[in-house]
């Protein structure tokens, strides 16, 4: 291990010192600033690393998920056993209410981020906590909700929560037939994206039995309907063997750390179904014994996500993503150390910390070679994480076996159209599935189609392992997919897992270059020229969620953020434009945005959960990508 690092240090010194004449003597002020920023950032990031070698900067989706959890705890009668601080949540909600009475989910600095569903849920929680319905907070919220169409206009998932409290009629929720959970059913839950099943399985039970409780007036919010609905008392069919089979199947899917499907929302929905079934059938004994233990483990998982998430606590952490963070911050740390060590020796501790991160990720690789997103996702490793793991491990010779397995996994997951989805292969639905699932499109994307951003990342990873358009049919198929994934005359691709064209296009450009596509190819030249056209006056790049609604007018339009700027800067560098004015201005923006305490922070959302529905904030993104971009910028200019 030490010999590898010694060779690295010598090689880097060779780049900087030529015949005893240090090129640093001629370094401009930007070079000095970048080196200083990288040195500080590398030290800070090392301080964020866990003892086991991982990094974990939890992503979050909004405080209304805490309100949702508060309501669920009241419904379950489990408030006493929770660490949720009602006073803290109440004060947070009141503090973050907008002037128009609404709440946002995740901030988009490019538009009004008022969110109907978040506002309904926060209203219900505050009313349950005793907030005066005639007071300023709730009266303003009510006015906003009704102005946006009331509960009638809310998402299906919001109505599911409300139905549990007799605030919505279960009849407004589509019925989900149990037959789709049978292995040989022609419409099978496995035909939907990985994240769908864990959520709709418990909803199927709750909807069939119209499960609800009357917790009194504090938890009734019928005033939020523009036209009050008729809501009857529970009159559901008797429990049958199909119900016990479904509940047992739900319990069987509980993950080691207590989640159902690795998601907090799927977990509390599953717990609600299990709790109701066990209360209706108190003497029922399944192969799992009683259901006390699954319920307790489920609560433990949710509490860990919501309250043990450092700076993301009380912001709505829905799942664990520490393997993803470790790959991204591992790459960034290596890049920064590699760059800074050209001017000074590599610290022993930095070498040891990187080695720990390598060992950690290799230990989390599952049997088929893939890398999961984080805890409890081991049953569903995804291609994007695996690609980033390969890119990190490619810096370390001793990881060849792990990388080989990871490449085999990626090749096995390539879709028939040549691209890659995130979790599944050829998971793009059909007319029957899409018709059946249409009512849930207001709550989530239901299929896992090939996406340009994931495909670009995978090409970059394959390129790092020697795969090119000249020697790999899989690479050629992927390039053909990207050619057809957008209209020929357009300079950009749309992104699935990040916002939007500014996420996908740099990923595609970098991936194409890494597998040997010529820099003169129109796919690449048009994208590079487009980058220069959309650069903001401050030198950064940005794009908002509105681009998903009107890409023709809003592609590449938005306030600058460190993450989005770094994505494009990396592509410019890989295309040989590190010395261009556009790249220099982008690097200057990233230097200006650096905070020696907070590193880099995105003031606007850049992560996509489900396009047009759910967006996310990833605290790791501005740090990891900014470090990587500035490191490469520095080295390519020397």
| CATH number of the CATH domain containing 226 | 1.50.10.20
Instruction: State whether 24 and 78 are in the same domain.
Output: no
> How many whole angstroms separate alpha carbon 627 and alpha carbon 414?
30
DSSP per position, 430-472: -HHHHHHHGGGGGT----B--BHHHHHHHHHHHHHTT--TTT-
Most confident of 134-138, 230-234, 431-435: 134-138
What residues contact residue 617 under an 8 Å CB cut-off, 6+ apart?
59, 60, 61, 106, 107, 315, 602, 605, 606, 607
Looking at residue 185, its pLDDT comes to 78
Of the candidates 284, 312, 340, which is a domain's last residue?
Answer: 312
Contact 500, 608 (CB under 8 A): yes
pLDDT at 51 over 60: yes
Could you give the 3-state DSSP secondary structure of residue 395? coil
Q: Average of pLDDT values for 535-562?
A: 98
Q: Same structural domain for residues 293 and 338?
A: no
Average pLDDT over residues 186-200: 89
Once rounded to an integer, what is the mean pLDDT over residues 236-259? 87
Helix (H, G, I), strand (E, B) or coil at 168: coil
Return the pLDDT at 444: 80
More confident site: 510 or 349: 510
Residue with tokens 């759910």: 614
Q: What pLDDT, on the 0 to 100 scale, is given for residue 425?
A: 95
Q: What is the mean pLDDT of residues 23-52?
A: 85
Residues in the chain: 638
Give yes or no: residues 218 and 337 share one domain: no
Give the burial string for 259-281 (b: 16+ CB within 10 Å, else e).
bbbbbbbbbbbbbbbbbbbbeee
pLDDT for position 158: 97
Q: How much is the pLDDT for 488?
A: 84
Count of beta carbons in the 10 Å neighbourhood of residue 150? 18
Structural domains of the chain, count? 2
Q: How many CB atoms lie within 10 A of CB 47?
A: 8
Residue 130: per-residue pLDDT: 97
Is residue 221 predicted with pLDDT exceeding 60?
yes
Mean pLDDT estimate for the chain = 91
343, pLDDT greater than 80: no
pLDDT for res 314: 98
pLDDT in tens, 257-298: 999 999 999 999 999 999 999 888 877 666 666 778 899 999
Tell me, what's the pLDDT at 446?
86
DSSP bridge partners of 160: none
Give pTM, 2 decimals. 0.93
Task: Return the pLDDT at 6.
Answer: 36
What average pLDDT does range 344-349 have in this prediction?
A: 65
User: How high is the pLDDT of residue 287?
Assistant: 61
Domain co-membership, 252 together with 198: yes
What's the rounded mean pLDDT across residues 467-478?
Answer: 98
Q: Tell me the mean pLDDT in the region 308-320.
A: 97
Do residues 261 and 300 share a domain?
yes
- Residue 414: closest CA among 507, 481, 514, 509: 481
Residue 296 CB partners (closer than 8 Å, separation 6+) = none
Quote the pLDDT of residue 9: 36
pLDDT digits (tens, 9 = 90+) for 79-130: 998 999 999 999 999 999 999 999 999 999 999 999 999 999 999 999 999 9
Closest CA to 463 of 398, 394, 409: 394
Is 243 a catalytic site residue? no
Catalytic residue among 191, 243, 384, 448: 384
- Same domain? For 16 and 68 the reply is no
pLDDT value at residue 374: 98
Residue numbers of the domain that contains 175: 64-312
Whether 255 and 337 map to the same domain: the answer is no
Is there a single domain that holds both residue 256 and residue 389? no
pLDDT in tens, 573-608: 999 999 999 999 999 999 999 998 999 999 999 999
CB 58 within 8 A of CB 312: yes
Residue 233 has pLDDT above 80, yes or no: no
Of 244, 277, 312, which marks where a domain is finished? Answer: 312
Q: Of 283, 312, 341, which residue constitutes the final position of a domain?
A: 312
Which uninterrupted H or E stretch holds 510?
Answer: helix 501-514
CA–CA dist 485, 503 (Å, integer): 15
Please give the backbone phi and psi of residue 104, each rounded to the nearest 5 degrees, phi first: -95, 160
Same domain, 220 and 172: yes
- Is the same domain home to 37 and 78? no
Looking at residue 4, its pLDDT comes to: 40
Of residues 191 and 629, more confidence is placed in: 629
Cα-only R_g, the chain: 25
Co-location of 288 and 344 in the same domain = no
Q: Per residue in 394-427, pLDDT tens?
A: 999 999 999 999 999 999 999 999 999 999 999 9
Say whether both 390 and 531 belong to one domain: yes
Of 114-123, 139-148, 230-239, 456-465, the one with minimum mean pLDDT is: 230-239
Please list, in sequence order, all residues whose beta carbon lies within 8 angstroms of the beta carbon of residue 3, skipping any fewer than 6 positions away. none
Cα–Cα dist 119/149, whole Å: 12
Q: Is the pLDDT of residue 18 over 60?
A: no
């Amino acid at each position: 291990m030490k010999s590898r690092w010694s060779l690295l240090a010598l090689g880097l010194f060779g780049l900087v010192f030529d015949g005893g004449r240090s090129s640093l003597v001629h370094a401009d002020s930007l070079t000095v600033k970048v080196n200083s920023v990288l040195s500080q950032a590398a030290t800070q990031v090392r301080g964020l690393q866990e003892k086991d070698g991982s990094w974990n900067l939890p992503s979050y989706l909004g405080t209304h998920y805490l309100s949702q959890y508060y309501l669920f705890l009241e419904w379950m009668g489990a408030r006493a056993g929770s660490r949720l601080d009602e006073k803290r949540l109440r004060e947070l909600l009141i503090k973050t209410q907008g002037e128009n009475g609404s709440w946002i989910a995740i901030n988009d600095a490019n538009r009004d981020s008022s969110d109907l569903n978040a506002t309904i849920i926060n209203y219900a929680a505050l009313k349950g906590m005793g907030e005066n319905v005639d007071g300023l907070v709730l009266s303003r919220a009510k006015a906003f909700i009704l102005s946006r169409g009331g509960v009638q206009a809310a998402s299906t998932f919001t109505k599911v929560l409300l139905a549990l409290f007799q605030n919505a009629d279960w009849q407004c929720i589509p019925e989900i037939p149990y037959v789709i959970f049978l292995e040989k059913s022609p419409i099978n839950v496995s035909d939907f994206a990985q994240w769908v099943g864990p959520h709709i399985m418990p909803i199927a039970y709750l909807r069939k039995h119209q499960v609800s409780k009357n917790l009194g007036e504090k938890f009734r919010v019928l005033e939020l309907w523009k036209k009050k609905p008729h809501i009857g008392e529970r009159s559901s069919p008797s429990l049958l063997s199909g119900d016990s089979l479904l509940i047992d199947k739900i319990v069987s899917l509980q993950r080691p750390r207590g989640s159902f499907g690795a998601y907090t929302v799927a977990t509390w929905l599953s717990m609600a179904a299990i709790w109701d079934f066990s209360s209706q059938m108190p003497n029922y004994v399944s192969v799992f014994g009683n259901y006390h233990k699954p319920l307790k483990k489920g609560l433990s998982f949710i509490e860990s996500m919501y309250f043990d998430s450092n700076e993301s606590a009380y912001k709505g952490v829905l799942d664990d993503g520490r393997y993803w963070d470790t790959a991204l911050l591992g790459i960034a740390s290596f890049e920064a150390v590699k760059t800074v060590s050209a001017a000074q020796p590599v610290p022993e501790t930095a070498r040891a910390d990187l080695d720990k991160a390598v060992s950690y990720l290799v230990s989390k690789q599952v049997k088929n070679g893939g890398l999961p997103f984080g805890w409890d996702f081991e049953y569903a490793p995804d291609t994007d994480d695996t690609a980033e793991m390969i890119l990190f491990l490619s810096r370390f010779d001793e990881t060849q076996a792990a990388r080989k397995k990871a490449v085999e996994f990626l090749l096995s997951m390539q879709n028939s159209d040549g691209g890659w989805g995130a979790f599944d292969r050829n998971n793009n639905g059909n007319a029957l599935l899409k018709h059946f699932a249409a009512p849930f499109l207001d709550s989530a994307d239901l299929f896992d189609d090939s996406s340009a951003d994931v495909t670009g990342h995978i090409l970059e990873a394959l390129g790092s392992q020697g795969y090119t358009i000249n020697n790999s049919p899989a690479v050629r198929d992927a390039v053909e997919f990207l050619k057809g994934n957008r209209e020929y005359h357009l300079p950009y691709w749309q992104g699935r897992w990040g916002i939007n064209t500014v996420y996908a296009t740099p990923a595609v450009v970098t991936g194409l270059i890494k597998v040997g596509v010529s820099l003169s190819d129109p796919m690449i030249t048009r994208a590079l020229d487009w980058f220069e056209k959309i650069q903001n006056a401050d030198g950064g790049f940005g794009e908002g969620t509105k681009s998903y609604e009107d890409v023709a007018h809003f592609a590449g339009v938005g306030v600058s953020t460190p993450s989005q700027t770094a994505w494009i800067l990396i592509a410019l560098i890989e295309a040989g434009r590190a010395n261009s004015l556009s790249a220099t201005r982008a690097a200057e923006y990233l230097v200006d945005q650096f905070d020696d305490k907070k590193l880099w922070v995105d003031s606007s959302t850049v992560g996509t959960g489900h396009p047009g529905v759910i967006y996310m904030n990833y605290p790791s993104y501005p740090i990891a990508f900014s470090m990587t971009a500035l490191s490469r910028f520095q080295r390519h200019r020397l």
